């Protein structure tokens, strides 16, 4: 849809993340992964195709307390408020570290983003579901990190994106 694409492109210019059809690269992209960055700004995207409807993936995303069932990097997670713009969630990692993130750009059934302050770094992650047909979709995670060691923090934050997406795929496809 031309109108939707135009709205998405304007949205992406506003928050500086790439639209769904953009290619990010710092060299050859491999298996649905791309990255680029400099010392203060770092971007990374991972994506996977899922043999299940977009609604099944969205149900996993909206169940914040259930993230630990398919994301090994989450020990506990709790939502404060609605799964909507301005909502917040607390997450405890398996190593015991904890942080609070704020939801923004939530589009029911399609995408959401979260923002977390990690020391001097602002970490923003977009989670997007692109339907391919009624029974399949593509899921993408895109991270943007700003700060003095953006690449170091970015690599640490996104190191498990491939594993997380593969686990989400297994969980959703098993239930389908």
- What would the 3-class secondary structure string for 94-146 be? CCCCEEEEEEEEEECCCEEEEEEEECCEEEEEEEEEEEEECCEEEEEEEEEEE
Helices H / strands E in the chain, number of each: 5, 8
**Pair 18, 45: CB distance under 8 Å:** yes
Number of alpha carbons in the 13 Å side-chain half-sphere of residue 136: 6
In a domain, 86, yes or no: no
- Provide CB contacts within 8 A for 133, sequence distance 6+: none
4-18, 28-42, 52-66: lowest mean pLDDT where? Answer: 4-18
Confidence band for 176, pLDDT divided at 50, 70 and 90:
confident
Greater model confidence, 141 or 26: 141
91-136 tens-digit pLDDT? 999 999 999 999 999 999 999 999 999 999 999 999 999 999 999 9
Give dist(CA 4, CA 107) in Å, integer: 13
Greater model confidence, 175 or 137: 137
Question: Average pLDDT for residues 53-77, to the nearest whole number?
Answer: 97
In a domain, 158, yes or no: yes
Confidence (pLDDT) at 86: 97
Give dist(CA 115, CA 145) in Å, integer: 10
**Which of 15-24, 34-43, 152-161 is predicted most confidently?**
152-161
Q: Which domain holds residue 154?
A: 33-62+101-175
Confidence (pLDDT) at 39: 66
Predicted structure pTM score: 0.79
In a domain, 49, yes or no: yes
In a domain, 95, yes or no: no
Return the SS3 of 71.
Answer: coil
Of 47, 76, 80, 64, residue with least CA distance to 164 = 47
CATH number at residue 140: 3.30.530.20
In a domain, 134, yes or no: yes
Judged against a pLDDT cut of 60, whether residue 11 lies above it is answered with no
In a domain, 141, yes or no: yes
In a domain, 78, yes or no: no
**Pair 86, 102: CB distance under 8 Å:** yes
Total count of domains within the chain: 1
The mean of the pLDDT values for the chain is 83
In a domain, 11, yes or no: no
Confidence band for 25, pLDDT divided at 50, 70 and 90:
very low
């Amino acid at each position: 849809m031309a109108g939707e694409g135009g709205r998405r492109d304007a949205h992406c210019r506003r928050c500086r993340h790439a639209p769904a059809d953009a290619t990010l690269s710092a060299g050859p992209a491999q298996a649905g992964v791309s990255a680029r960055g400099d010392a203060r700004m770092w971007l990374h995207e991972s994506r996977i195709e899922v043999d299940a409807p977009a609604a099944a993936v969205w149900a996993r995303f909206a169940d914040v307390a259930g993230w630990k069932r398919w994301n090994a990097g989450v020990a506990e997670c709790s939502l404060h408020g609605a799964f909507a713009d301005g909502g917040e969630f607390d997450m405890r990692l398996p190593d015991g570290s904890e942080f609070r993130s704020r939801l923004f750009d939530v589009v029911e059934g399609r995408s959401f983003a979260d923002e977390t302050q990690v020391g001097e770094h602002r970490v923003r992650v977009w989670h997007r579901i692109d339907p391919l047909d009624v029974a399949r979709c593509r899921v993408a995670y895109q991270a943007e990190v700003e700060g003095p060691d953006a690449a170091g923090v970015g690599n640490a934050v996104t190191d498990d994106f491939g594993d997380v997406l593969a686990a989400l795929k297994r969980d959703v496809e098993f239930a389908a």
